[in-house]
Amino acid sequence: MKLNYKIIFHFFGLLCLFNGGFMLLSTLISLIYEDGVTLNLFAAGIIVLILGGISMYLTKNHKKELNKRDGYIVVAFGWIVMALTGTLPYLITGSIPSFTNAFFETMSGYTTTGASILNDIESIPKGVLFWRSMTHWIGGMGIIVLAIAILPLLGIGGMQLFAAEAPGPNADKLHPRITDTAKRLWLIYFGYTAAETILLQVAGMSFFDAINHSLSTLSTGGFSTKNSSIAHWNGQPIIQYIIMAFMFLAGTNFILSYFAFKGRVQKVIRDEEFKLYFKFIALFTIIAAFIIYFRADFSISSIEHPMVLGKAEASIRHGLFQVLAIVTTTGFVTADYTLWTPFLVVFFFGLMFLGGSAGSTSGGVKVVRHMLMIKNGFLEFKRALHPNAILPVRYNKKSVSGDIVFNILGFFILYMLSFIIGALVFSMFQIDFESAIGLSASSLGNVGPALGDFGPVNNYSELPNLGKWWSAFLMLIGRLELFTVLILLTPFFWRNR
């Protein structure tokens, strides 16, 4: 089975057109706020649009057939193409003159990791900051899902792409036609973004801050327009509660949101993954709030504003916020949680491996995978006692095939191996143990804040250049669920069979 290079590059051209179009939208923001880089952003957008147009024109006579191997290449290399072209607004405006730093920031944006190399975010032109947040929003639901919504215009079916891009093992569909599914998901995604923008503005944020934080929240990204992230609004709890509500929604399966809007609330309530996700959030919040209330010293916790509603409320709010920010892999911070006792440091580190729901914009392993591994683990005890019994793993009262269970176990093993190898490579750059394991877990899980020298109140600017490239690679394989990228490194993938 030979690769269809023409359709692959045709698709890369299409992605560049998307990228260039969103850059021009950032140009409009720059023009409105008169930040001095309007022409630079316009030039970046035009260059990317021209590249995309040339690529599509040269490959217009492609075969309208996309096989599975083509799909893997389009997804994996498509993200790299987006990241490479996405560096132009930073480079041309001079906001991030280093290509390595610009690529890191862009890859962190598209993979919704939220790790940054910027030391003074508030000094960056508003048009560039909007582009930075927009990379989150594009990557959040998946640039491929966005693209397949218009593939019928090209006469191409997009099922292969959705299989490679869709986050998590959940294959539930809203509609038999995959393009209709993509459109419905993006409509919900856009609606949530607009709703959060309005609510944040009503709560006291400026329109610019509100829309940027909405773009970051719904994508579970974490880029902020403020150096102190959401801690900037510690004196306005309502803003933090709004962001928490939308972080929770962004971490749930978007298909469940669709069912809820259609009035099928019982389907949402009965969903096993959603119930476990909710229970995890509640339990972890109780633990964190309890420790914060009795053990954390608020005077050293980067909580700069007076406690508006008392210590109990502040403990619950900061505990819930950080649990949601890490479990959903959003990465916003309201305080330096590394100062909240060693127990909470280890606790939050462990949460980096959880992830949100399948079908959400979260990174990480995903709740459904943990749930099915736990169920299978308990069944192994029963199988040991009753070796001849047929005991299938069940999810939402349906049997899960053995292939899916083996795939999940294989994914988890590969994920942990990637984490260990990631930490080992970081340690080669003279990075201490705590920082190395934090960097590896955070990059692979697309969380953002790490531990040690790269904790929640620091950034990645001090990471060596090779370390930034390695971190970007971990972000990519983590965002695309390992197999999609790592399969390209196997020799049998490239054999013409």
94-108 pLDDT, tens digit each: 999 999 999 999 999
Per-residue model confidence (pLDDT) at position 178: 66
Q: Do residues 209 and 232 make contact, with C-beta atoms less than 8 angstroms apart?
A: no
Residues with Cβ < 8 Å from 306, sequence gap 6 or more? Answer: 235
Pick from 170-174, 202-206, 229-233, 383-387: least confident: 170-174
The answer, yes or no, to whether residue 160 has pLDDT greater than 60, is: no
pLDDT at 172 over 70: no
Number of residues assigned to the chain: 497
Mean pLDDT computed over 271-276: 93
Lowest mean pLDDT among 105-109, 184-188, 465-469: 184-188
Tell whether the model's pLDDT for residue 304 goes beyond 50: no
pLDDT digits (tens, 9 = 90+) for 8-22: 899 899 999 999 999
Contact of 136 with 217, CB cutoff 8 Å:
no
Phi, psi of 400, rounded to the nearest 5 degrees: -100, 130
Share above pLDDT 90 across residues of the chain, in percent, rounded to a whole number: 59
Banded model confidence at residue 495, pLDDT cuts 50, 70, 90 = confident
- The predicted structure's pLDDT at residue 164: 58
Query: For 392-424, what is each residue's pLDDT tens digit?
Result: 888 888 888 888 888 889 999 999 999 999 999
Name the more confident of 145 and 256: 256
Buried-exposed string 368-396: b where 16+ CB fall within 10 A, e elsewhere: bbbbbbebbeebeeeeeeeeeeeeebebe
Q: How confident is the model at residue 481 (pLDDT cuts 50, 70, 90)?
A: confident
- Winning range, highest mean pLDDT, from 138-142, 261-265, 294-298, 301-305: 261-265
* More confidently predicted of 83 and 164: 83
Q: By the 8 A CB rule, do 221 and 109 touch? A: yes
Residue 328 CB-density burial (10 A; 0-12 exposed, 13-18 middle, 19+ buried): buried
Whole-number percent of the chain with pLDDT over 70: 89
* Choice among 29-33, 309-313, 394-398, 461-465 with the minimum mean pLDDT: 309-313
Residue 254's pLDDT band, with cuts at 50, 70 and 90, is confident
The residue whose two tokens read 């327009």 is: 225
- Is pLDDT at 159 greater than 70 in this prediction? no
Q: Is 236 left (phi over 0), alpha (psi -120 to 50) or beta?
A: beta
Helices (H), 296-401: 311-327, 342-351, 367-385
Q: Strand pairing partners for 398?
A: 395
Helices (H), 236-338: 237-250, 254-261, 265-269, 272-295, 311-327
**Higher local confidence (pLDDT), 390 or 224:** 224
pLDDT score for 300? 43
Mean pLDDT for 378-382 is 89
- Helix then strand count (H, E) for the chain reads 21, 2
| Contacts of 67 by beta carbon, 8 Å cutoff, 6+ apart | 1, 4, 160
Which of 67-76, 222-231, 291-300, 413-422 bottoms out in mean pLDDT, i.e. has the lowest?
291-300
**Model pLDDT, residue 156:** 42
pLDDT of residue 166: 53
Residues 356 and 367: beta-carbon distance below 8 Å: yes
Looking only at the bridges linking them, the beta strands covering 393-395 and 398-400 are antiparallel
- On the question of pLDDT at 74 being above 70, the answer is yes
More confident residue, 71 or 405: 405
> Would you state the pLDDT for residue 212?
97
What the block records as the tokens of 225 is: 């327009």
In this prediction, residue 143 carries a pLDDT of 58
More confident call, 150 vs 446: 446
Residue 398's pLDDT is 86
Separation CA 370–CA 384 (nearest Å): 21
Look at residue 295 in the predicted model and tell me its pLDDT: 80
Better-scored residue on pLDDT, 92 or 310: 92
pLDDT of 470 reads: 97
- Structural contact between residues 159 and 178, judged by C-beta atoms closer than 8 angstroms: yes
Contact, 90 vs 48, CB < 8 A? no
Token readout for 446 is: 């697309």
CB < 8 Å & 24+ apart, contacts of 262-270: 270/396
User: Between the CA of residue 90 and those of 63, 124, 125, what are the distances in Å?
Assistant: 36, 10, 10
Q: Which of 47-56, 152-161, 253-262 has the lowest average pLDDT?
A: 152-161
Q: What is the pLDDT of residue 154?
A: 38
pLDDT of residue 336: 87
